[in-house]
């Protein structure tokens, strides 16, 4: 791993520090709770958690504006939460309730919230990269100044759609941020078994795309690198490739027995847990007190419980509505 | 009624694209060789010069990438026309069409829609051999969320694209390359057409020929030949393969009591399988004869002309089959 040492940390106010820590904590609690209710069979299907990767979701999202577009993978709860999608509507979605952000139609892997410009949760690895290219192309054609941010894993970088998308984005010079969360495993297959060139950041320049790496376990480094990336995109209208080195502490999904990695490796990475790290930073810089942290943690806990209660009390979409939205309800043709 | 004009199928397609580009700033055409080359089949010839590279976009050989980009641009408020050079290459874009275009509206609970039009050349008959002679209309027609249209006439070549561009949902448009040079007549003011219903192309009372795509003119020709021998057959052009509109062909069968379904696609799990089932389900007691089908022979389409011809229904095959059905 070639990581640049963190640039001088962005200067934070107390309020910002608290907000960021709160977001990461909320994601962590939300994910842990999701796993818990999954074992109670309240959530079904695939469930992919991002525990360990919170700094990327939060670090990236704080650099984005409301009008920017965000697209993601099936491991997107953190991205959605950081984007401001309501915890309640995400949990209800995972419960399959009508009150969910996608009416319960999509579940964990397909969170959509067009009011937040959050365009899914895509469960075909690499499938949303071309979409992000098209959305950024539309922005360029419409003279909009917004950025399209597309999250994906290093596994997706082996797909043809990754290469097609980088080529098209560079060819068309469009404002898209390709945000690779390199957590070193695609399901159970390690990076070293899947990429001939494991420094994924070398693939950007091959397409003439401005590229950088960030330490995805370090919120401040992610923030610094993403701010730089987004500033570049807004300034030039060109694409950018940012590889965040990160690690998922939990299994790929709830069906994964984790036969492919040693417990000791996971423990090593847990020492780099972004949340305690950032907490320590805030304490050291006197930007936060233990008391404030305690209150914030209680608040995160309350939000998650509220989400659960909301989901528990949600309703089921009527079976008669099964085929609604197969075709749009906008003006008949 | 405005005066009839004569034009080729290609000219009809092109005039529709041109009109769409003139009418709506949000419309743009993207595809391999649509610009500098002039379109693989010269359908977009001259449009780059007229509209410039932002509206007529040449794209690299990245079927999945650029089809997905068209879907993404539609999500973000544009009105893209994506041209996949031919249906034979569409498998490389199938992930985008099936997993994104067709699902996003339903899966998001109606929050987003995908107003993209994806055109592709198709059909057989030009001795292009197995990999370039596919009739995969049934694949697409299988998928809810798509609107699947087959351009079997000059009227539809002129009008279907314009109507498709008013759909809030993804439209797949099949154009038949063997018909490009074929001349036909349409009203001078022809424009948008209905894209929800099948159409009776010829009225008749003895038997219903139900078809689409290149089958339409073949069936009309067969009907003319049969008329000379005193047989009066009706020709139903399905046009809309999904959502399949059944009233038109069910009513036709209720009138003629006999049905022969004609298509180039392989017989198993085809459009004709579906139409035949619907007739069994909903018009069984109208039938005087079992439904019959003339479809593609189930082989990779071979190169030599005589074998290629033998692989799909020809006018003479239709004539003979109808005669057999009417005069047992
Ligand atoms: C096209 C496709 N192939 C295979 C899968 C099955 N699958 C789901 S997630 C996954 C691993 C993807 O790894 P990566 O892109 O690194 O993302 P991560 O899960 O690590 O976040 C695989 C193989 C799929 N969903 N889509």
Note the pLDDT tens digit of each residue in A258-288: 999 999 999 999 999 999 999 999 999 999 9
The answer to whether the CB of A75 is under 6 A from ligand 1 is yes
The contacts of residue A158 (CB under 8 Å, 6+ apart) are A186, A194, A195
Question: Is residue A3 very low, low, confident or very high in pLDDT (cuts 50, 70, 90)?
Answer: very low
pLDDT, residue B320, reads: 98
Instruction: Write down the pLDDT at residue B125.
Output: 86
Residue B9, in any domain of the structure: yes
Q: pTM of the prediction?
A: 0.91
Q: Give contacts of A 151-170 with B, CB under 8 A.
A: 160-161, 164-165, 167-168
Residue-wise pLDDT tens digits, B93-111:
999 999 999 999 999 999 9
Task: For residues B278 and B281, give the distance between their C-alpha atoms in angstroms, rounded to a whole number.
Answer: 5
Domain-located, residue B193: no
Q: Does B65 touch chain A (CB under 8 A)?
A: yes
- DSSP-assigned letter for residue B267: S
- What integer is the mean pLDDT of A5-32? 88
- Chain B positions touching A164 (Cβ under 8 A) are 60, 62, 64-66
A213: helix, strand or coil: strand
Do residues B159 and B49 both lie within one domain?
yes
Residue B105 domain-assigned (yes or no): yes
In this structure, are residues A248 and A52 in contact, taking their beta carbons and an 8 Å threshold?
yes
Would strands A185-186 and A189-190 be described as parallel, antiparallel, or unpaired?
antiparallel
Of B133, B157, B187, the residue that ends a domain is: B187
Final residue belonging to a domain, choices B187, B210, B228 = B187
Q: Would B194 be classed as within a structural domain?
A: no
| DSSP H helix total and E strand total for chain A | 12, 9
Note the pLDDT of residue A2. Answer: 41
Residue B243: give the domain boundaries.
199-326
Q: What is the band of A324 on the pLDDT scale with cuts at 50, 70, 90? A: very high
Same domain as B116, residue B71: yes
If you measure from the C-alpha of residue A156 to the centroid of ligand 1, how many angstroms do you get, rounded to a whole number? 7
Subunit contact B69:A167, Cβ cutoff 8 A: no
Q: Which residues of chain B have pLDDT under 50?
A: none
Does one domain contain both B36 and B138? yes
Across the range A117-127, mean pLDDT stands at 96
Whether residue B248 is found in the same domain as residue B174: no
For chain A, say whether B52 makes contact (Cβ under 8 Å): no
Asked whether the beta carbons of residue B113 and residue A328 sit closer than 8 angstroms, the reply is yes
3-state SS assignment for residue B38: coil
Residue with CA closest to ligand 1 atom 8: A125
Per-residue pLDDT at A1: 39
* CA-based nearest distance A219→chain B, Å: 30
pLDDT attached to residue A330:
72
Residue A333 predicted with pLDDT over 50: no
Whether residue B78 is contained in a domain is answered as yes
Instruction: Report whether pLDDT(A6) > 70.
Output: no
Instruction: For tokens 């392989």, name the residue.
Output: B266
| A191 φψ region: left (φ > 0), alpha (ψ -120 to 50), beta (else) | alpha
What is residue B1's predicted lDDT score, i.e. its pLDDT?
A: 62
The DSSP output letter for A71 is E
Output the pLDDT for position A331: 57
Angle CA(A38)–CA(A309)–CA(A60) in degrees, nearest 5? 70
Residue B95 in domain: yes
Average pLDDT, chain A: 95
Residue of chain A whose alpha carbon sits nearest to that of B194: A333
A-facing residues of B in 235-264 (CB < 8 A) are 243
In sequence order, the 6+-apart residues with CB closer than 8 A to the CB of A78 are A27, A31, A50, A53, A54, A56, A57, A58
Distance of CA B197 to the CA centre of its chain: 13
Question: What distance in Å separates the CA atoms of residue B121 and residue A226, rounded to the nearest whole number?
Answer: 43
Q: Are B165 and B256 members of one domain?
A: no
| Residue B132: active-site member | yes
pLDDT digits (tens, 9 = 90+) for A150-198: 999 999 999 999 999 999 999 999 999 999 999 999 999 999 999 999 9
Give the count of domains, chain B: 2
Which of B24, B89, B102, B111 would best serve as a mutation to test chain A binding (most A beta carbons within 10 A)? B111
Tokens representing residue A217 in the block:
């376990």
Using an 8 Å Cβ cutoff, are A22 and A299 in contact? yes
Chain B closest-CA separation from residue A333 CA (Å) = 5
Q: Give the model's pLDDT for residue B58.
A: 95
* Residue B40 domain flag: yes
**B302 touching chain A per CB within 8 A:** no
For residues A87-107, give the mean pLDDT: 96
Q: Both B168 and B267 in a single domain? A: no
Q: Does A164 sit within 8 Å of B77, measured CB to CB?
A: no
User: What pLDDT is attached to residue B190?
Assistant: 94
**CATH number of residue B246's parent domain:** 3.40.50.920
All domains in chain A, ordered by first residue? 45-272 (3.40.50.970)
For residues A101 and A96, give the distance between their C-alpha atoms in angstroms, rounded to a whole number.
10
**Residue B4 annotated to the active site:** no
Q: Do residues B152 and B9 make contact, with C-beta atoms less than 8 angstroms apart? A: no
CA A125 to ligand 1 center in whole angstroms: 5
Co-location of B278 and B215 in the same domain: yes
Given a cut of 90, whether residue A9 has pLDDT beyond it is no
């Amino acid at each position: 791993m070639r990581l640049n040492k963190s640039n001088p940390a962005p200067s934070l106010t107390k309020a910002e520090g608290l907000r960021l820590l709160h977001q990461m904590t909320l994601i962590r609690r939300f994910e842990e709770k999701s796993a818990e209710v999954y074992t109670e069979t309240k959530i079904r299907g695939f469930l992919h958690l991002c525990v360990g990767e919170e700094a990327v979701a939060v670090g990236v999202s704080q650099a984005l504006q409301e009008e920017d577009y965000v697209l993601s993978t099936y491991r997107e709860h953190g991205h959605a939460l950081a984007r401001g999608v309501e915890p309640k509507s995400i949990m209800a979605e995972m419960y399959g309730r009508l009150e969910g952000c996608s009416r319960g139609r999509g579940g964990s892997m397909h969170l959509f919230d067009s009011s937040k410009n959050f365009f899914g949760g895509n469960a075909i690895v690499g499938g949303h990269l071309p979409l992000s290219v098209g959305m950024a192309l539309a922005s360029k054609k419409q003279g909009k100044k917004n950025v399209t941010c597309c999250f994906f894993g290093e596994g997706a970088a082996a797909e043809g759609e990754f290469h097609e998308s980088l080529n098209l984005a560079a060819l068309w010079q469009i404002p898209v941020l390709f945000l690779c969360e390199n957590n070193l495993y695609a399901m159970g297959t390690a990076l070293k078994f899947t990429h001939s060139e494991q420094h994924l950041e070398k693939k950007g320049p091959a397409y003439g795309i401005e590229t950088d790496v960030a330490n995805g376990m370090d919120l401040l480094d992610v923030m610094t690198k993403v701010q730089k990336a987004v500033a570049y995109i807004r300034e030039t209208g060109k694409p950018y490739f940012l590889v965040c080195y990160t690690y998922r502490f939990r299994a790929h999904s709830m069906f994964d027995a984790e036969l492919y990695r040693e417990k000791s490796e996971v423990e090593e990475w847990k020492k780099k847990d972004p949340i305690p790290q950032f907490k320590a930073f805030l304490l050291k810089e006197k930007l936060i007190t233990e008391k404030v942290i305690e209150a914030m943690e209680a608040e995160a806990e309350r939000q998650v419980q509220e989400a659960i209660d909301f989901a528990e009390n949600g309703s089921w979409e009527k079976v008669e509505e099964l085929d609604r939205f197969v075709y749009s309800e906008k003006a008949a043709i | 009624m405005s005066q009839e004009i004569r034009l080729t199928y290609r000219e009809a397609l092109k005039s529709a694209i041109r009109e769409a580009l003139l009418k709506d700033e949000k419309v743009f055409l993207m595809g391999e060789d649509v610009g500098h080359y002039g379109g693989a089949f010269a359908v977009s010839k001259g449009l780059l010069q007229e509209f410039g590279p932002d509206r007529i976009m040449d794209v690299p050989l990245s079927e999945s990438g650029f089809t997905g980009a068209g879907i993404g641009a539609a999500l973000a408020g544009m009105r893209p026309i994506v041209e996949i050079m031919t249906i034979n290459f569409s498998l490389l874009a199938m992930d985008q069409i099936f997993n994104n275009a067709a699902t996003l509206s339903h899966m998001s609970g109606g929050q987003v829609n995908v107003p993209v039009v994806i055109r592709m050349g198709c059909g057989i008959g030009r001795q292009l051999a197995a990999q370039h002679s596919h009739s995969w209309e049934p694949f697409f027609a299988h998928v809810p969320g798509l609107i699947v249209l087959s351009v079997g006439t000059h009227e539809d070549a002129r009008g279907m694209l314009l109507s498709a561009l008013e759909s809030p949902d993804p439209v797949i448009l099949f154009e038949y390359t063997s018909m490009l040079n074929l001349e036909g007549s349409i009203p001078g003011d022809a424009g948008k057409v209905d894209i929800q219903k099948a159409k009776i192309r010829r009225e008749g009372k003895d038997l219903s020929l139900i078809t689409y795509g290149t089958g339409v003119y073949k069936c009309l020709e067969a009907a003319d030949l049969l008329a000379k021998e005193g047989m009066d057959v009706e020709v139903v052009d399905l046009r809309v393969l999904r959502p399949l509109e059944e009233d038109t062909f069910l009513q036709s069968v209720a009138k003629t009591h006999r049905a022969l379904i004609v298509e180039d696609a392989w017989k198993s799990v085809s459009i004709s399988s579906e139409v035949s089932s619907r007739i069994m389900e909903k018009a069984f007691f109208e039938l005087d004869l079992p439904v019959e089908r003339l479809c593609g022979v189930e082989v990779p389409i071979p190169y030599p002309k005589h074998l290629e011809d033998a692989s799909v229904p020809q006018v003479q095959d239709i004539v003979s089959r109808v005669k057999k059905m009417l005069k047992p």
